[in-house]
Chains A and B, each alone.
Chain A
Amino acid sequence: MSSVAKTTALPPALPDHAGLGRWGRIRESLIHWILFTCGVLSVLTTVGIVLVLIIESIPFFAHVSLWEFLTSTNWAPTVRPQHFGALPLINGTALVAIGSGILALPIGLGTAVYLSEYATPWTRAIIKPMLEILAGIPSVVYGYFAIIFFSPIIRWVFPGTKVFNAASACLVVSVMVLPMVISLSEDVLRGVPRALRDAAYALGANKFDVTTRVVVPAAMSGIMASFLLAISRAIGETMAVTLAAGANPRMTLNPLESIQTMTAAIVQIASGDTPANSPEYRTIFAVGLALFVMTLGINIAAQWILARTRQKYE
């Protein structure tokens, strides 16, 4: 029975259209093909994204060398003389992703540990829906919240800071990725087998030791995967950072400065009145390609780690 229960699909050897009339057979195979098309469409979407980004980037890279794009520290596509160095944008994206990661990771892990190891069912019943609400709030709303809430706080603590700064973007993106970090980390923490905890208790460890020396280390790879996914979310995050971080592409590690991320640069050019076939307009595809490659790489790494973790305790 266990081998049957594993797969929900029919064994392939079973005759599918047995006992049907001609129309019944046609109907069954027609439906099969329709459903097949739906499945193929998702693969075609990926192919479409890759093709569009590459094909639209080729004319751009005929105009601007890949070397300049990846190494020049000057991004000024819309003013003369034009400069197409993407490093300031990558710098801005990295600043926001790492900054929000540094904030979200310990808070997320702390919350996940609390929910998984300490919280009463009653607390969980309050916190979990709250996190779902946080996860459901649109990005543009978070951007607005950063301007009216986080930015004034930062300007109060560090007088002289501009309204638009990387720090408020980091704060708001950390809030946005928190629900994901918490829910993924909590899943892996709860997935740590009871036997490991019981063994540690049997050796005389208290709850603190069991949590910090047994449960969290055992769940470490899954926690790392959730961190990676959070970083990837932060890299692709668009509206909140476009509103909060400003539009000043520059090389800086100071979060109190106004910066521009890759996503914000795409929004700025796409929403302006740049002529569609100019090199400056095509930057949106070149930057989009870089964005796609970065997030895809991190996502694949995270999924690989998660898949390995699942195998470990099965």
Chain B
Amino acid sequence: MAAGVGKSLKERVFHAMCLVATYGCVVILLALVASIFWEASGWLDWQFLTSRPSHDPEKAGVLVPLIGSLWIIGITTLVAVPMGIGAAVYLEEYLSDSLWKSIVQINISNLAGVPSIVYGLLGLVLFVRLMHFGRSILAASLTLALVILPIIIIATQEALRAVPPSIRHASFALGATRWQTVRHQVLPAAMPGIMTGVILSMARALGEAAPLIIVGGVGTMSYTPTSVYHKFMALPTAIYNWSSRPQAEFANVAAAGIVVLLVFLVILNAAAVTIRYRFGKRTQW
């Protein structure tokens, strides 16, 4: 600030408004967590974790959607991660700048902005009907894999770009082929960044409800799925189902379900932060 000029009233007001906006975000976050835990208190118990769906809120449990979500997140990850990393490696390590590369690149950033419910419509036609998977875990997982694919590709690309070109040149100079360079030098160096992106995309898939409703509906079922061709319930769709019921007690059931979902998200995010923190320091180029 220029010497001798005190803070004007205008500046003070502006500063205060910025401050309020900033800490408003923190207040909202605290209100969200507090209100959900308040609604869930007394409802989140062992009975809730081990019971099947019920029309009686006192007996309703989260077991079936919980198992369903674990199935879906597992298969989604298995499908989307190799595909996503493969596409990113292709873009960053194999393609030189060309029209084709910019087409693929623009396409990926646009895919990242497509509303997830639109992916649900694609999954409904492609996986449920054309491929005859039905309203199954498999159809839901493949749909979610398409939702998180752009996220994994973009995160992996950033991790690959952070590996300095000199590493590649040294490897090529020693006679390594392109794949040997990618596999033994570039991918290991980029792995912490890739893993962080993968885990965050898993968190995204775990909380995604809209495509699952389009693909699988919001109906309840009483058995836990044991095959990818079985019907499914998932945590976010169960939460939607409970939240939209008229009985007040189901609001508490929904809150308990949300706490279970948030616990999984916290675990995933903690894993991502740990990886970023532990490996981020070690690799200083």
Chain A residues closer than 8 Å to B121, beta-carbon distance:
49, 52-53, 56, 266, 284-285, 288
Chain B residues closer than 8 Å to A46, beta-carbon distance:
107, 110-111
Partner of A42, one of B28, B125, B153, B254: B153
A206 close to chain B: CB less than 8 A? yes
Q: Which of B13-21, B45-53, B54-62 contacts A (4 or more CB under 8 A)?
A: B13-21
Considering the chains assembled together, what is the distance between the CA atoms of A113 and B160 in angstroms? Answer: 31
Q: Is the interface of A mostly helix, strand, loop or mixed?
A: helix
Measured as residues with beta carbon below 8 angstroms from the partner, the interface class of chain A is 35 or more
Considering the chains assembled together, what is the distance between the CA atoms of A27 and B178 in angstroms? Answer: 11
Considering the chains assembled together, what is the distance between the CA atoms of A24 and B1 in angstroms? Answer: 65
Q: Is the CB of A130 within 8 A of B265?
A: no
Interface string of B142-180 (1 = CB under 8 A from A): 000010011001000000110101001100100101110
B39 close to chain A: CB less than 8 A? yes
Chain A residues closer than 8 Å to B139, beta-carbon distance:
none
Partner of B214, one of A113, A212, A266: A266
> Which residue of A has the minimal Cβ distance to B255?
A144
Q: Is the CB of B29 within 8 A of A133?
A: yes
Interface string of A11-53 (1 = CB under 8 A from B): 1101011011000100110011011111101110110110011
Q: Is the CB of B240 within 8 A of A243?
A: yes
Could you list which residues of chain B lie within 8 angstroms of chain A, going by C-beta atoms?
A: 1-2, 5, 7-8, 10-11, 14-15, 17-22, 24-26, 28-29, 31-32, 35-36, 39, 82-84, 86-87, 89-97, 103-104, 106-111, 113-122, 124-126, 146, 149-150, 153, 160-161, 163, 165, 168-169, 172, 175, 177-179, 200, 203-204, 206-210, 213-214, 217-218, 236-237, 239-240, 243-244, 251, 254-255, 258, 261-262, 265, 269
Q: Is the CB of B149 within 8 A of A8?
A: no
Considering the chains assembled together, what is the distance between the CA atoms of A243 and B240 in angstroms? Answer: 8
A275 close to chain B: CB less than 8 A? no
Q: Is the CB of A263 within 8 A of B22?
A: no
A81 close to chain B: CB less than 8 A? no
Q: Is the CB of B108 within 8 A of A140?
A: no
12 contacts between A and B (CB under 8 A): A38-B87, A39-B95, A52-B126, A111-B18, A114-B18, A127-B22, A130-B25, A134-B29, A144-B255, A238-B116, A270-B124, A299-B110
Q: Which of A58-66, A191-199, A229-237 contacts B (4 or more CB under 8 A)?
A: A229-237
Q: Is the CB of B109 within 8 A of A141?
A: no
A208 close to chain B: CB less than 8 A? yes
Q: Is the CB of B26 within 8 A of A12?
A: no
> Which residue of A has the minimal Cβ distance to B126?
A48
Given contacts A7-B96, A267-B213, contact A235 B115 (CB under 8 A): yes
- Tell me how far the C-beta of A208 lies from the nearest C-beta in chain B, rounded to whole angstroms: 4
Considering the chains assembled together, what is the distance between the CA atoms of A4 and B19 in angstroms? Answer: 45
Chain B residues closer than 8 Å to A130, beta-carbon distance:
25-26, 29
Partner of A263, one of B92, B117, B168, B203: B117
> Which residue of B has the minimal Cβ distance to A247?
B244
A220 close to chain B: CB less than 8 A? no
Chain B residues closer than 8 Å to A9, beta-carbon distance:
92-96
Chain B residues closer than 8 Å to A136, beta-carbon distance:
200, 203-204, 207, 265, 269
Q: Is the CB of B22 within 8 A of A140?
A: no
Considering the chains assembled together, what is the distance between the CA atoms of A36 and B39 in angstroms? Answer: 50
Considering the chains assembled together, what is the distance between the CA atoms of A52 and B111 in angstroms? Answer: 15
> Which residue of B has the minimal Cβ distance to A4?
B165
Interface string of A44-88 (1 = CB under 8 A from B): 011011001100100000000000000000000000000000000
Q: Is the CB of A296 within 8 A of B255?
A: no
Chain A residues closer than 8 Å to B150, beta-carbon distance:
42
Segment 104-143 of A: residues with Cβ below 8 Å from B: 106-108, 110-111, 113-115, 118-119, 123, 126-127, 130-131, 133-134, 136-143
Chain A residues closer than 8 Å to B204, beta-carbon distance:
136
Q: Is the CB of A35 within 8 A of B168?
A: no
- Tell me how far the C-beta of B69 lies from the nearest C-beta in chain A, rounded to whole angstroms: 11
Q: Is the CB of A38 within 8 A of B86?
A: yes
Chain A residues closer than 8 Å to B237, beta-carbon distance:
140
